[in-house]
Structure 1
């Protein structure tokens, strides 16, 4: 370490040494008494501060306090960002189409949230958070799937704590608010750590990440994985740099908790790339801030902390695995997604410059080749400007920031995985084979945001003076790159974008990119850049509505009718004959139904319907299941795989197989024929929907 670097480290014993060096007055000397007994506060310039971790000054405390206050208020008010109001129109019951909506519009494309996740959560809630719940899958689906469950593992799923502590609707609000507000706080603290306590830039980075289209359009599903990952990185750094037992006693348990929470989010397509990002950030930070007096202070206590932490971690994971083994085995043996193995190289759904033009697309209007607004959404990236700029800085100064180098390597490796692909052996060794490129593009975007925010912070301390020729060539290169990005989007969209539409976004990003050039020195450069990025993110705030409560579900006439019948006969099993949407809503009532989304294959049920396992490959998967009437007089059961995540079952409603499965209630999405109901009696009619019960 250079002498200059050592001089920048705070000597914690310095105050005592200075006090000891002061000459003591004699007993007879007269000491003038000032009107104030304490010396005036000394303001230390940012550039003169020594190395420190997170500075919890008044501004940070106020920020955290305001966020906690918002979390409490919004939870108590039952505010959420769910699209459950889609039920007002999908299964209308004469109610107001905006029932439960405060602002914005529910998005039909977010059916993974309003039609799958939310009903599954309610199913768990009404059944007292069971380990086994056939309505959502075989084995122990909530234990392996990320759902609330009565098991110690719920300690590591903080976004679900509200369901155990509060009412249903407050618990639902907690689920949303913890993900969003909790992640903003955690990310702000991490950016404070990585930017040497640049407060406003840290808040900007957190807001940019959380409200980027790549997260917002996916109903913030990434955040329950990203949040513990962020806490894990903070805890790890605090253990490495701890200088007191108190710090280790806090950081050690936090390390264990966050590691378990991150590991058991159990969505490898996000976890594996994010894990690499966390490693890159940790290595880069340690290399940049290699302060021996901090790192080697209490080294044995730190080693003991990590040893104990990994011991506790192993015990927790072993206990979890003991309970979840059969479910994990079943899931890993599924045709989809268990046996999926990728080699990359399939590219982005749109292209990695498409976010520059995100203003021009919506959930109902986008290039048809880009699938849908969720799949094509990711993050604004400035890597093509930043990485060459870092090389330019190195050429002129022979200095480089190890943290920026580490993140740049991460970005380039993931870009190679997405665009080029890896050999099969490398894909498996790296574990990226479990992350399809359409999912990898999200962690890739997160890495780009970290790269940009930390680079902007770096520019405050490092700039270069170059010749006029280099300046001109660099600006021309930026313009050429943005023109290239515009052409790529014009070509990829097959005429969806028009030249006049992309002119202003291209101009904006040319200006923002020029601001990132290391030799550009203008007043308020960073402020202008941050405002420009936030301005461009504004349309993304409409991705999710602002809603209150769960009335679009709980006040729906079908929901209330099914709940009434279920409470009269709670052990009876149900099946929806027809519409998959009716099935989704029925799941939310808590009934045990055959149809619906199965997180893991329910072999116990399917072996009754398919005793010889002839159609095993059709249902051995995560799947949306739909049941229909199929009567051939032979009690045959027809099972067909429609998509990689769906299958259809055709069965006679009066089949002895269904009686064996204790199916007593049938919901038809139409008026059934007499042959279908020969063993049933009608118990309710709701418009075109009819509910029947088995005759006994």
Structure 2
């Protein structure tokens, strides 16, 4: 074979090597591998410098409170006993007109018979700052919504200026509930280091206590403002960002002014001391977190600016009402209240333990009424000695707990025994009569309880079993004593057998306060028991809707057109005081009715030119009229005091004095005694037994 390479033809070119097919073995079936569990992320550690933890739970709570409030307002729902008008002055309408649920309580006369007619009167007259139907001078500015720049500091009145009258009324009375719940909840969250259930329970207990609900939530706004003011002050101390410092500084001053404009010193003065003591104790306990104060020059400067700006508005308000305030302070009743305490509770300090036994219509006569006798549950007699033991055992003082305890002791002494006169006057506590001071004292008892439970949450002191037995026996003995006090003080309304369950229940509740007994669910059990006991107070007030018991009333609809036709004419009601209240609501310039102050400059200058009977009418009063004709002195007018808060005007309906006063209409709720007394009038409207006469001479 030649070594020379031979050229291959295409036909003879070698074929590519053949590859054997690769056989892929079928996969062997295996069990699916289980996913390995992933360990959950550890919870985010609590920030030791965090004041209030606005987590999902807290935000939902605040949202629900605000949402329910808005739903109530949109639905025109409120808790005032306006449906009582359906039976007090029946006009043939259904007795449940305006009533959604519950029962109207006639005891809350200041709300449905005085407050509501005053408010509707000022609405009908266009929100003036002077309204003769309410009282002399500028009474309207102090008592009802009025068009004035100071309304900016009165959130309760905002609804009237942006909503219709009925929703504005609902806003006014409903706002106090979210104020209390939000203000107290945030305050408790701050001072208990975010103990959610304890904080929420404390807020609910303040809301549902008898001293709050039976006064139609009047104390609620003040409690709420105190809590919000304290929280804002603490956040201002901690804040570093300039914009937030501005908002907090102005917010703090705003809240202080809004609180002051509640204008009820008997509650405000003691309550201010309570929150100052508790807040001061909190800041001292946590002084390392707040002091030295960051950016203190900026904060002090902004507070000064806020005080100056808002102070200018308040100064204008004060100038407008200065004469009115001086006149109110100079009245015979209520005048300038100045007491040194010592008259005690209307009921007794422990009557709330047995509040399930009494009710709206069944209570001891010596306790006056369900409102006056109501206050708050107190656990102070057990907490106070335990607090001393706690401080000794821990060898340190919780200054916040000490502040709440000091307030409770001091005010309890004021109520039961009194203070030296100089001390009561210097501290201004003299402005709080004993029976009014029991409300802030009760608020202090709730704060004391919450603070104490927070302090002993994780603390247990091991003691011999006999010590706990002795402690529980002492608590049982205390509860038996409270039962004895109430049985003897209740004029037979409360019997010994009725005290059995309350004694057992509150013995158990007080025993939960013993930090010598280890209990994993101490706070949960106590909070549950407290809320369950207070829940029946939800029925204290009715759920009402709108203003129809007044504005749809036959008498109101008969009088209102006459007032619109002749708004400057004056009215007198000859008869029932309840009829006078309805006439007030129409916006009439009525001489009778309820007067915050007497109208000296015009009305009594004519009726009593020498001021001989000044002591009879110089008061907050319910004013009625009756016919008195003296043939020897035909123009005689008698002004006679009937009650501490009431006087009567008696005279000839056709007297020249009433003509001079432009008394155009006289409403009789009965037939005139003799035709002579209506000789100067003609019938304008007849409403069954009632007749409206118009003066024609």
User: TM-score surpassing 0.5?
Assistant: yes
Q: Give deviations 1:141-181, integer Å, cap 9, x for gaps.
A: 12223x21111111111112111111111111111221112
| Contact 2:237–2:290, Cα closer than 8 Å, also in 1 | no
Q: Which runs of 5+ in 1 are unaligned?
A: 1-38
Tell me what 1:142 maps to: 140
Alignment of 1:76-225 (within 5 A): 76-145=74-143, 147-225=144-222
In 2, Cα distance between the equivalents of 1:208 and 1:155?
30
Pair 1:534 & 2:531 matched: yes
Q: Give deviations 1:315-342, integer Å, cap 9, x for gaps.
A: 3332221111111111111111123321
Q: Tell me the number of residue pairs that the alignment of Structure 1 and Structure 2 aligns.
A: 655
In 2, Cα distance between the equivalents of 1:304 and 1:520?
51
Pair 1:664 & 2:664 matched: yes
In 2, Cα distance between the equivalents of 1:185 and 1:202?
10
Residues 502 and 45 of structure 1: CA distance in aligned 2, closer, same or farther (over 3 Å): farther
Pair 1:684 & 2:681 matched: no
In 1, Cα distance between the equivalents of 2:398 and 2:360?
40
Pair 1:277 & 2:274 matched: yes
Q: Which runs of 5+ in 2 are unaligned?
A: 1-38
Secondary structure of 2:107 counterpart? helix
| Contact 1:390–1:400, Cα closer than 8 Å, also in 2 | no
In 2, Cα distance between the equivalents of 1:292 and 1:500?
53
| Contact 2:624–2:648, Cα closer than 8 Å, also in 1 | yes
Pair 1:641 & 2:641 matched: yes
| Contact 1:240–1:295, Cα closer than 8 Å, also in 2 | no
Tell me what 1:5 maps to: none
Alignment of 1:498-509 (within 5 A): 498-509=495-506
Alignment of 1:175-574 (within 5 A): 175-292=172-289, 295-574=292-571
Residues 227 and 129 of structure 1: CA distance in aligned 2, closer, same or farther (over 3 Å): farther
Q: Give deviations 1:534-590, integer Å, cap 9, x for gaps.
A: 111122111100111111111110111111221222221111111111111111111
Give 4+ residue runs of structure 1 displaced > 6 Å after superposition. Answer: none
Tell me what 2:619 maps to: 621
| Contact 1:231–1:254, Cα closer than 8 Å, also in 2 | no
Which deviates more from structure 2 when the two are superposed, residues 300-309 or residues 378-387? 300-309
| Contact 1:71–1:178, Cα closer than 8 Å, also in 2 | yes
| Contact 1:459–1:518, Cα closer than 8 Å, also in 2 | yes
Which deviates more from structure 2 when the two are superposed, residues 416-425 or residues 230-239? 230-239
Residues 57 and 674 of structure 1: CA distance in aligned 2, closer, same or farther (over 3 Å): same
Tell me what 1:582 maps to: 579
In 2, Cα distance between the equivalents of 1:612 and 1:512?
64
Residues 295 and 56 of structure 1: CA distance in aligned 2, closer, same or farther (over 3 Å): farther
In 2, Cα distance between the equivalents of 1:382 and 1:543?
23
Secondary structure of 2:339 counterpart? coil
Tell me what 1:16 maps to: none
In 1, Cα distance between the equivalents of 2:489 and 2:154?
40
- 1:303 Cα offset (Å): 2.3
Tell me what 2:650 maps to: 650
TM-score where L is the length of structure 1: 0.92
- 1:83 Cα offset (Å): 0.3
Secondary structure of 1:359 counterpart? coil
Which deviates more from structure 2 when the two are superposed, residues 499-508 or residues 226-235? 226-235
- 1:448 Cα offset (Å): 0.6
Alignment of 1:601-612 (within 5 A): 601-604=598-601, 605-612=603-610
In 2, Cα distance between the equivalents of 1:113 and 1:293?
44
In 2, Cα distance between the equivalents of 1:134 and 1:41?
69
| Contact 1:683–1:692, Cα closer than 8 Å, also in 2 | yes
In 2, Cα distance between the equivalents of 1:357 and 1:221?
23
In 2, Cα distance between the equivalents of 1:316 and 1:232?
20
- 1:192 Cα offset (Å): 1.2
| Contact 1:130–1:149, Cα closer than 8 Å, also in 2 | yes
Tell me what 2:17 maps to: none
In 2, Cα distance between the equivalents of 1:628 and 1:405?
58
| Contact 2:362–2:493, Cα closer than 8 Å, also in 1 | no
Secondary structure of 2:355 counterpart? helix
Tell me what 1:31 maps to: none
- 1:313 Cα offset (Å): 4.5
- 1:293 Cα offset (Å): 5.6
| Contact 1:101–1:546, Cα closer than 8 Å, also in 2 | yes
Secondary structure of 1:441 counterpart? helix
- 1:98 Cα offset (Å): 0.9
Q: Give deviations 1:369-388, integer Å, cap 9, x for gaps.
A: 10000000110000011111
Which deviates more from structure 2 when the two are superposed, residues 621-630 or residues 304-313? 304-313
Which deviates more from structure 2 when the two are superposed, residues 297-306 or residues 643-652? 297-306
| Contact 1:637–1:651, Cα closer than 8 Å, also in 2 | yes
| Contact 1:393–1:463, Cα closer than 8 Å, also in 2 | no
- 1:285 Cα offset (Å): 1.3
| Contact 2:391–2:398, Cα closer than 8 Å, also in 1 | no
In 2, Cα distance between the equivalents of 1:688 and 1:517?
66
- 1:41 Cα offset (Å): 5.6
- 1:183 Cα offset (Å): 2.1
In 2, Cα distance between the equivalents of 1:41 and 1:177?
43
Secondary structure of 2:572 counterpart? strand
In 2, Cα distance between the equivalents of 1:193 and 1:569?
57
Secondary structure of 2:83 counterpart? helix
Secondary structure of 2:348 counterpart? coil
| Contact 1:256–1:312, Cα closer than 8 Å, also in 2 | no
In 2, Cα distance between the equivalents of 1:293 and 1:688?
71
In 2, Cα distance between the equivalents of 1:154 and 1:494?
47
In 1, Cα distance between the equivalents of 2:589 and 2:69?
34
| Contact 2:668–2:691, Cα closer than 8 Å, also in 1 | yes
In 1, Cα distance between the equivalents of 2:451 and 2:57?
21
Secondary structure of 1:495 counterpart? coil
Secondary structure of 1:129 counterpart? coil
| Contact 2:75–2:545, Cα closer than 8 Å, also in 1 | yes
